[in-house]
Amino acid sequence: MAKYRKKPVVVEAIQFTGDNFQECCDFVGEENLNDGTSKDEGYIGIITLEGDHATRRGDYIIKGVQGEFYPCKPDIFEQTYELVEE
């Protein structure tokens, strides 16, 4: 069985803290938000390539290499990505 290494790719991401609701919505863009997005409920609904997903407080929102957005749990994000610049 062949083995493969994931290519290093730099992505843009933001962590949803609950206090930066509008900043996260602006990052994703209105066209990528679903109707379930609710500041009061504390989540952001994102339309992804695999369907709608909810981003909860603490989750990261990643902009993929083709301009798509998707949420990522903080533990997975921290195991997969490292900061390259601020």
In the chain, where the domains are located: 12-80
- Strand duo 43-48 + 12-15: pairing: unpaired
Q: What is the pLDDT of residues 32-64, one digit of tens each?
A: 999 877 887 888 999 999 999 999 999 999 999
CA dist., res. 51 & res. 45, Å (int): 10
Query: What's the pTM?
Result: 0.88
Q: In the block, which residue shows the tokens 């981003």? A: 55
Q: Label residue 43 exposed, middle or buried (CB < 10 Å: 0-12, 13-18, 19+).
A: buried
CA dist., res. 63 & res. 34, Å (int): 16
Q: What is the pLDDT of residues 19-32, one digit of tens each?
A: 999 999 999 999 99
